Amino acid sequence: MMVVTERNVILQRANSGVRQILVSFGISMNETKATERKSALILAAIVAIEGTFVLLNWLNNGQKFVAYLGFSAGKSGTLWGWILALVVTVLFVALSIRLPSVRANLLRPTWLKALGLAVAVSAGILEELVFRKLLMNYLLAAGVGSLLQIVLSGLAFGAAHGIWGLMGRSVRAALGATVATGLLGAALAIVFIVSGRSLAPCIAAHFLINALIEPGLVLAVTRGEMTRAEHKLDNLSA
């Protein structure tokens, strides 16, 4: 009984801390509930689309699919690739926690976090497969050099994620999201090359980033926190 009571106290304190973070940023509790429902639908849609692709490939030939992704002996990348993947993960998460919802949900165990973990698996695999392995290997076969491969991979990745800012009804936030994810895409493209064109370190980094910043990032978008953050920076620089 005492263990249950202590657990409830810990959860109440955690929820109180989350509320304080959000309220300090001008986000009401009514708004919180509405955006949580909207974020759940977005995350579920991502899992349904990207997760279906991953699941079908796994069911078709799981061992071959896993080996193609780089998770097999002799194909898992280089030591420097894994070190760089860890550096990229730490830096991007550190930049993302400036958003209150990301900070509040970084390690908070909720049903939205469970959806975020499902997104981390599906997006970590599919997006790295598309924007790193398929795109960059196609460019390599076409005679494109490594530097341009990195640039084009980053641009494509950023363009595909610019929609997050538009969901917050802000062109400025969309541009910010495009630049931020574009830089992440370029960084992961460098990891891909340093790893000997193995996807394993890229997928691991992508998974860890999404596992930590989701569902906070989607919540931040639906709550307009990206726009608010830009306004705060403007006020500080004014």
Nearest-angstrom CA–CA distance, 23 and 31: 10
Q: What is the pLDDT of residue 82?
A: 98
By mean pLDDT, which of 17-26, 95-104, 159-168 is the weakest? 17-26
pLDDT tens per residue across span 122-141: 999 999 999 999 999 999 99
pLDDT for 52: 96
pLDDT at residue 95 above 60?
Answer: yes
Task: Kindly state whether residue 1 falls inside one of the protein's structural domains.
Answer: no
Residue 4 is assigned to a structural domain of this protein = no
What is the model's pTM? Answer: 0.83
pLDDT value at position 234? 46
Residue 16 lies in a domain: no
Tally of domains within the chain: 1
57 within domain boundaries:
yes
Residue 6 included in any domain: no
The answer to whether residue 145 is domain-embedded is yes
Domain range for residue 58? 28-237
- DSSP per residue, the chain: -HHHHHHHHHHHHHHHHHHHHHHHTT--HHHHHHHHHHHHHHHHHHHHHHHHHHHHHHHHHHHHHHHHTT-STT-S--HHHHHHHHHHHHHHHHHHTTSHHHHHTSS---HHHHHHHHHHHHHHHHHHIIIIIIHHHHHHHTT--HHHHHHHHHHHHHHHHTHHHHHTT-HHHHHHHHHHHHHHHHHHHHHHHHTTS-SHHHHHHHHHHHHHHTTHHHHHHHTTHHHHHHHHHHHHH-
Q: How confident is the model at residue 31 (pLDDT cuts 50, 70, 90)?
A: low
What lies within 8 Å, CB to CB, of 173 at 6+ separation is: 164, 165, 166, 221, 224, 226, 227, 230
Q: What is the pLDDT of residues 9-29, one digit of tens each?
A: 444 554 554 455 444 444 444
Does residue 3 fall inside a structural domain? no
- Among 39, 64, 49, smallest CA distance to 116 is for 39
Per-residue pLDDT at 204: 98
Is residue 2 a part of any domain in this protein? no
Q: Report which of residues 142 and 170 the model is more confident about.
A: 142
Q: Dump pLDDT digits (tens) for 38-91.
A: 889 989 999 999 999 999 999 999 999 999 999 998 899 999 999 999 999 999
Answer with the residue of higher pLDDT: 218 or 29.
218
Give burial (CB, 10 Å; 0-12/13-18/19+) of 95.
Answer: middle
